[in-house]
């Protein structure tokens, strides 16, 4: 079900018992210590020396995600994230000069294989036995050749060398994720190992060679089968978003449809990499205990030669059509119901109001929907609300996920949820509910600021999404002042 509303995504995170009761003193002191630098190539670096344990969180965000893909390349941003863990000309290889010719053969022969795979599909659709036989023969030929080239290339490959290097230097939390709005690469290291990070990551961002592209394509296809094809709730979610958003960028599956994945090609991935992975489209956040002057020199040394990209044209997509939508999926699996309403993009003033409303409705045992519909009326076993879904760059969703109790039908549960929402539309929420959520949010925000990783994630997120990391603190101020 889809109608109109107005809201926002996850915000809370930070602080210290000695600060003022609402955290203002602590937030002010942290904000004043943050430094933002922009290199000549456009790369933005946010640094916060916290003087805690000698550990630093290092986050890199690229403003490139699923919403930047075309219909034909849907899923390529996620595939690219996989590729950037496969090494460069320096990392992941014993002898790149010797390996390179086999990588080029794999690229060329994979194109031949894909072309004959498509011909085989067409032949099977036509029912022409002679064409089918010829195409099957060619597919087997190119598969065999690829196996030989892949086997030769593997002689030079050092699997996961980046992970091995980081592990030797005491890494924690080495990971990445792709969203519809951006791609993130993250790690924690002892502060005296920041130059190790700078050397590895600058090389990754400038010189990735997309090793094992076509075998990794099969890995991503299997990932989709497990996460979507064989999971009814994920399939329902995908269908729901496609119906809601249509041709809007948020309507495409983040991992990509299976047909796209099966024919991902290295050239499309390289084109995406060269277009979006540029310093003027990236933000680095470094938080922890370190020497800011030294770290700035290290960042300039390793990232300063990253070549600036051109201006990326990002026309605003047409707004999704506001209409009632119902999607049903009858498949074997645990029952689940999704309800959603449109809400505005990240920095709209209504976002914080809706974030707080989501908490009042479904965060904790004393929240309105959980208390009334799960505990008292026993119409549901679980109710959760997500804001800022499936992204926050564009119009997004205030999203309710509810699991009906046994023998409770969807219509009954939906009606009960809608009635509670209507009560709030007509009467608002109690001051008690509001103050409780505000207090918890401020406490969570304060506590989160103790974590270098959470702080680096938030600062880099707000900087790349809004152009100003201070919007994080302004959002907190807005939330604090709600009545």
Look-up: residue for tokens 């941003």? 77
Is there a contact between 479 and 473 (Cβ–Cβ < 8 Å)?
A: no
pLDDT higher than threshold 70 for residue 12: no
Using the predicted structure, report yes or no on whether residue 450 has a pLDDT greater than 90: no
Q: Which residues pair with 380 in a beta bridge?
A: 404
Any residues with CB less than 8 A from the CB of 227 and at least 6 apart, and which? 234, 255
Is 50 exceeded by the pLDDT of residue 9?
no
pLDDT tens digits along 338-392: 999 999 999 898 999 999 999 999 998 999 999 999 999 999 999 999 999 999 9
Q: Is the pLDDT of residue 18 over 90?
A: no
d(C-alpha 86, C-alpha 93), whole Å: 10
Cα 453 to the center of its chain, rounded Å: 16
Query: Each residue of 219-268: pLDDT tens digit?
Result: 999 999 999 999 999 999 999 999 999 999 999 999 999 999 999 999 99
**Which residues are CB-neighbours of 477 under 8 A, at least 6 positions away?**
none
* pLDDT at residue 1 greater than cutoff 70: no
The sheet with strand 396-404 has its strands ordered as: 2-4, 337-343, 396-404, 380-389
Asked if 282 and 41 touch (Cβ cutoff 8 Å), the reply is no
Looking at every residue in the chain, the average pLDDT score rounds to 92
Residue 8 confidence (pLDDT): 28
> What does the pLDDT average to over 402-407?
94
pLDDT exceeds 60 at position 327: yes
Return the residue matching tokens 């960042």. 299
- Does the pLDDT of residue 19 top 70, yes or no? no
β-pair partners for 342: 4, 397
Q: Where are the beta strands (DSSP E) in 344-446?
A: 380-389, 396-404
Band the pLDDT of 23: cuts 50, 70, 90. Answer: low
Kindly report, residue by residue over 66-92, the tens digit of the pLDDT: 999 999 999 999 999 999 999 999 999
pLDDT value at position 11? Answer: 24
**pLDDT tens, 164-209?**
999 999 999 999 999 999 999 999 999 999 999 999 999 999 999 9
Q: Are 77 and 178 in contact (CB under 8 A)?
A: yes
d(Cα 99, Cα 97) in Å, to the nearest integer? 6
Query: Which 3 state secondary structure label does DSSP give 56?
Result: strand
- What DSSP assignment string belongs to 65-97? -GGGS-STTTTHHHHHHHHTTS-BSSSSBS-HH
Indicate the range of 96-105, 220-229, 422-431 predicted with least confidence. Answer: 422-431
| Cα 124 from Cα 144, distance rounded (Å) | 22
Determine phi and psi for 472, rounding to 5 degrees.
-60, -45
Q: What is the pLDDT of residue 212?
A: 97
Length of the chain, in residues: 483
């Amino acid at each position: 079900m889809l109608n109109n509303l107005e809201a926002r995504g996850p915000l809370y995170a930070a602080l210290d018992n000695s600060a003022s009761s609402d955290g203002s003193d602590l937030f002010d002191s942290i904000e004043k210590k943050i430094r933002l630098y922009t290199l000549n190539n456009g790369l933005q670096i946010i640094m916060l020396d916290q003087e805690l344990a000698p550990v630093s969180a290092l986050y890199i965000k690229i403003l490139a995600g699923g919403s930047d893909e075309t219909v034909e390349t849907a899923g390529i941003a996620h595939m690219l994230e996989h590729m950037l863990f496969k090494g460069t000309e320096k990392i992941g290889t014993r002898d790149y000069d010797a390996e390179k010719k086999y990588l080029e053969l794999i690229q060329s022969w994979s194109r031949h294989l894909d072309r004959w795979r498509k011909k085989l599909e067409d032949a099977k659709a036509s029912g022409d036995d002679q064409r089918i036989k010829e195409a099957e023969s060619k597919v087997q030929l190119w598969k065999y050749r690829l196996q030989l080239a892949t086997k030769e290339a593997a002689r030079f490959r050092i699997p996961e060398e980046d992970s091995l290097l980081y592990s030797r230097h005491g890494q924690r939390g080495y990971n990445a994720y792709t969203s519809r709005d951006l791609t993130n690469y993250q790690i924690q290291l002892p502060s005296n190992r920041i130059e190790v990070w700078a050397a590895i990551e600058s090389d990754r961002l400038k010189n990735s060679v997309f090793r094992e592209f076509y075998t990794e394509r099969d890995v991503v296809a299997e990932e989709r089968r497990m996460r979507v094809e064989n999971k009814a709730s994920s399939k329902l979610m995908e269908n729901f978003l496609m119906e809601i958003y249509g041709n809007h960028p948020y309507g495409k599956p983040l991992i990509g449809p299976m047909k796209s994945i099966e024919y991902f090609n290295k050239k499309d991935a390289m084109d995406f990499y060269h277009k979006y992975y540029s310093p003027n489209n990236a933000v680095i956040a470094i938080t922890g205990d370190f020497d800011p002057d030294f770290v700035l020199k290290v960042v300039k040394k390793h990232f300063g030669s990253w070549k600036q990209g051109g201006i990326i044209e990002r026309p605003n997509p047409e707004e999704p059509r506001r209409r009632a939508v119902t999607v049903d999926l009858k498949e074997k699996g645990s029952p689940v119901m999704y309800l959603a309403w449109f809400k505005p993009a990240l920095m709209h003033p209504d976002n914080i109001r809706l974030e707080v409303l989501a908490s009042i409705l479904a965060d904790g045992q004393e929240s309105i929907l959980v208390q009334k519909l799960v505990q008292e009326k026993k119409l549901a076993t679980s109710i959760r609300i997500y804001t800022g879904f499936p992204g926050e760059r564009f119009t997004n969703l205030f999203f309710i996920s509810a699991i009906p109790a046994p023998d409770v039908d969807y219509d009954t549960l939906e009606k009960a949820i809608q009635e509670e929402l209507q009560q709030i539309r007509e009467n608002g929420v109690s001051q008690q509910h509001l103050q409780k959520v505000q207090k918890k949010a401020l406490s969570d925000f304060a506590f989160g600021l103790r974590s270098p990783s959470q702080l680096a994630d938030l600062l880099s997120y707000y900087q790349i999404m809004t152009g100003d990391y201070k919007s994080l603190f302004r959002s907190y101020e807005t939330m604090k002042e709600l009545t």
